Amino acid sequence: MCSQTRQQVSSPQSPSASLWLRLIIGLVSVSLLAVAAASGALYVRFKAKNSLFREQTLSLQAGVIAHYLKTAPEGPIHLPSYVTEGFKVNNGRHSIVASDGALLAASAGVTAPLAAINTSESSDLFVLQPDEKQPPYYGLSVRAPFAGQPVWVQVAFHPGNIVFDSVLEEFVQDIAWIWIPFVVILLIVNLLVARIGLAPLRMAANQAAAIGPGAVSMRLTEGGLPRDVHALVTAVNRGLDRLETAFDAQKRFIADAAHELRTPVAVLKAHVGILSKFEGHTELVDEISGLERLVNQLLDIARLDVLQVGADHVADLTGVATEVASHLGPAAINAGRSIEVLAPDEPVCIRGASDYLFRALRNLVENALRHTPVGTTVSIVVANPPSISVIDQGPGVHPDQKHAVFGRFWQGGRDHTTGGAGLGLDIAARTVVAHGGFISVDDAPNGGAIFTMQFESLLAAGREVQSPSHEVTL
């Protein structure tokens, strides 16, 4: 007996992150450009203010000397200590030059005018570079009266010795460190804004990802969405309504057509069976059998569309395999082939519907019987963790076709002369997916193909499943 355990819940696949990435890249790019533009504008503004304040500072220093000269007596110029002290402390230089270029007074070490005199200008800025290894001096020449004659007062300082230059340098260094956390915080805020703004789209995408052939009645949530997103979701839901209508009509047509065909096909097969043998009788019987199989497969497809595996649905894979082997055994023997079942002694249980699993496995075994040579055996192997493998000794499946072999109406198979509409493997694959498992195809060690259906296990509490095997040959 099979016991029941937890119910499997599948989660929808995550949507593509390309829109998210594009939005994030755009926000980050705009933020960095804004920071760069702000930094450039701030730097240009600081440079302009720095030059203006430097000129004002130099003008102030020169103005102090010029004011003293207005009241100074004629003769040698001796600047008072309150004037010269500031130049000594700040490593500045000054000079007083006559109209003819003669040096009237200067700070220690200065033996010539600091810069050439431009007699046509009352104020003239200059840059003095006495040594390439040291920073330059920024200076100013100002015309001033002395003893009734014009003289030029020249002052010069290193940038770091001007108070505003020093303050500005420290300020720029400090604000440079502020930019780093500011940019980081700005990027984080952009990420949060983008994430919050895209949340409705992510919710709609996750809901859309969960809509499949078995859930065509699902719709995207329209409540609490922004106006633009709401319009998109509404349009998608209206499109889903139209698709569901067409899908339901198609399902009803297939089910009705298959159901209506079953009776005449069965009658036709019975009448042909009681007729005396005639030329082409065997081929006709084969064609009617193929038609009967196609009708049954169409009915299986219609049933799969409404398959719902409930919590109380438990199936034994060993029992399913044995039932399929018993059902197809006589036809296999008549065709010169055999079927064997290899399974554990104890039941291998899964949550599933036995009749659907029976039809899925029957399609795999019928497919194998058509492709395995006369005189060979098709093996049905039940294993734990729960799986059923169907092994034949036919030509196998070409590697380039393995990705398409489970597609509906696929007929690029191993032998085009075996007939079939290409529905059996599709039915098996859809049945396995509806049971929360997956199906695969591999090459058999001794040639042929191995089709494997794998499922989630369903074990009795506290009991491990043994795996000794027994063989049933038909």
322-348: pLDDT as tens digits: 999 998 998 899 889 999 999 998 888
What CA–CA distance (Å, rounded) separates 339 from 95? 116
Q: Are 181 and 129 in contact (CB under 8 A)?
A: no
* C-alpha distances out from residue 371 to 167, 206, 220, 364, Å: 90, 42, 45, 11
Domains and CATH numbers, the chain: 22-165 (3.30.450), 211-306 (1.10.287.130), 309-473 (3.30.565.10)
Cα dihedral 249/253/254/258 (nearest 10) = 160
Please give the pLDDT value at position 9: 35
Q: What is the mean pLDDT of residues 79-103?
A: 81
Please give the pLDDT value at position 38: 76
Q: What is the mean pLDDT of residues 3-28?
A: 53
Q: What is the mean pLDDT of residues 270-282?
A: 75
Above pLDDT 70, what percent of the chain?
77
* C-alpha distances out from residue 270 to 265, 267, 273, 289, Å: 9, 5, 5, 11
| Least confident residue range of 77-86, 295-304, 338-347, 410-419 | 410-419
Please give the pLDDT value at position 361: 92
Q: Which tens digits make up the pLDDT trace of 49-80?
A: 777 777 887 888 888 888 888 888 888 888 88
pLDDT > 50? residue 462 = no
414 pLDDT band, cuts 50/70/90, is very low
pLDDT > 60? residue 11 = no
Q: Token match 């169907």: residue? A: 390
More confident residue, 169 or 275: 275
Please give the pLDDT value at position 8: 37
Q: Which tens digits make up the pLDDT trace of 199-219?
A: 777 788 788 877 766 566 788
| Least confident residue range of 34-48, 84-98, 459-473 | 459-473
What CA–CA distance (Å, rounded) separates 7 from 14? 22
Q: What is the mean pLDDT of residues 432-448?
A: 86
